[in-house]
Amino acid sequence: MAVTILQNDTSQDPLHKEKHLTSRFIALEEQYGAHNYKPLDIVVERASGVWVYDVEGRRYLDFLAAYSAVNQGHCHPRILAALLEQAQKVTLTSRAFRNDQLPLLYEELHNLTGFEMALPMNSGTEAVESALKIARKWGYTVKGIPEGQAEIIVCANNFHGRTISIISFSTEEQYRMGFGPYLSGFKVIPFGDAAALRAAITPHTAAFLVEPIQGEAGVLIPPDGYLREAAAICNENGVLFIADEIQSGLGRTGKLFACMHEGVTPDVLIIGKALAGGFYPVSAVLSSREVLGVLTPGDHGSTFGGNPLACAVARASLRVLVEENLSDRSAELGAVLLDRLRQIRNQHIREIRGRGLWVAIELDSPARPVCEALMRQGLLCKETHDNVIRLAPPLIITKEELLWACDRVQSVLEQL
């Protein structure tokens, strides 16, 4: 995929006259920005496809893809063209008025996924919050749960966002510390344990929320058959099966959605990230008319949700995923990635696991120094849960680029 990158003229910018641009930008960020992230010390200026370039002109292969938000690659020309075209027409109307892009996105989501209805939002966290509200209202108005007593079952080691309601059922202590009091109405069970799900359900259970593969936890894959059995248990008990596919969906695991590996269609599907190809925050909750039909005007909303610019970008992003066969590429190249990485012999590797182009290398030592060393080798990835390196390149990556990255991983691991 050829992409022409237009560089801004920075000759008059005093920051670009300094010899050590990276340290200058980092100092500004540290001085004026909240310290809620600990990024690697690279300052990205531009990107194209699978490659990013820092402010000093160094090139790196992106092996994180913005946590699956740029599955289509950086600055994909077709998505960029859609954004520019729409931006010259109308960008925002709010939902007080209709626009010509939202109904087309609805139709294309239906044709692609089979779900009857969609609720557009912005960030993934907003979509999860929306799904929680919908599940509760469905529980009261359709299932007949007494008002105020709805329960939602979730899994340990989950990551669905960091809002107050979501951290209320997180098992990661740092996400919770200092942010109480927490919301009630959630029940936590072990991930991958269908028997625990069955035992946790009561007449007040409205929904079961699960990531088909837990990404932030370290690309944890449940036992074979777990999703299928969990969906059957939910169906038997009149419980909504909600799949959070914000990271795992839209081609990342070698299928359009990770649930497809077990032939499961959830009652509610949450998508985001790659839905906009890295250009714009777009997310959505997909479900049946029975479920999403519980919402009436005024129940829920978002000024930016479903805006015409977002919809135009999402439509182009979906077309790229389908027409460039990115799910199939992920399956094919993911097998190559796993096979190559598993050839590495190193006493510090506990496990290498993954599905599609979504792989984790679990170490018996901290992963941060490894990620920093890989950055110096021209490869960008990020640690999670201290000792896990998460690998998730854009799905447009070539086999040659993939093997180039694997050589760097092996070289760095050999120095542990």
Read off the tokens for 15: 């920051």
Distance, CA of 255 to CA of 260 (rounded, Å)? 6
In a domain, 358, yes or no: no
Classify each residue of 40-70 as buried b or exposed e, where b means 16 or more C-beta atoms within 10 Å of its C-beta: bebbebbbbbbbbbbbeeeebbbbbbebbbb
* Residue 127 shares a structural domain with residue 205: yes
Please say which residue of 270, 303, 336 terminates a domain: 303
* Residue range(s) defining the domain that contains residue 163: 114-303
pLDDT band, residue 9 (cuts 50/70/90): very low
In a domain, 98, yes or no: no
In a domain, 120, yes or no: yes
* Residue 136 shares a structural domain with residue 244: yes
* Residue 149 shares a structural domain with residue 240: yes
Distance, CA of 231 to CA of 198 (rounded, Å)? 11
In a domain, 129, yes or no: yes
pLDDT in tens, 78-133: 999 999 999 999 999 999 999 999 999 999 999 999 999 999 999 999 999 999 99
* Residue 153 shares a structural domain with residue 45: no
Count CA atoms closer than 13 A to 296's CA, side-chain side: 3
pLDDT band, residue 19 (cuts 50/70/90): low
Q: What is the mean pLDDT of the chain?
A: 95
Q: Give residue 155's Cα distance to chain centre.
A: 17
Please say which residue of 273, 303, 333 terminates a domain: 303
In a domain, 313, yes or no: no
Classify each residue of 375-399 as buried b or exposed e, where b means 16 or more C-beta atoms within 10 Å of its C-beta: beeebbbbbbeebbbbbbbbbbbee
Please say which residue of 303, 326, 343 terminates a domain: 303
* Residue 201 shares a structural domain with residue 53: no
The reported pLDDT for the residue numbered 6 is 37
* Residue 123 shares a structural domain with residue 12: no
* Residue 51 shares a structural domain with residue 132: no
Q: Is the pLDDT of residue 60 over 50?
A: yes
* Residue 167 shares a structural domain with residue 267: yes
Q: Which residues are marked as active site?
A: 159, 244, 273
In a domain, 143, yes or no: yes
pLDDT in tens, 353-407: 999 999 999 999 999 999 999 999 999 999 999 999 999 999 999 999 999 999 9
The reported pLDDT for the residue numbered 273 is 98
Distance, CA of 338 to CA of 348 (rounded, Å)? 17
* Residue 118 shares a structural domain with residue 178: yes
The 10 Å Cβ neighbour count of residue 111 is: 9
* Residue 194 shares a structural domain with residue 277: yes
In a domain, 250, yes or no: yes
* Residue 48 shares a structural domain with residue 195: no
Strands 283-287 and 382-384: unpaired
* Residue 47 shares a structural domain with residue 146: no
pTM higher than 0.85: yes
Number of domains in the chain: 2
Helix and strand numbers, DSSP H then E, in the chain: 14, 15
CATH label of the domain that carries residue 3: 3.90.1150.10
In a domain, 295, yes or no: yes
CATH label of the domain that carries residue 132: 3.40.640.10
3-class secondary structure, 389: strand
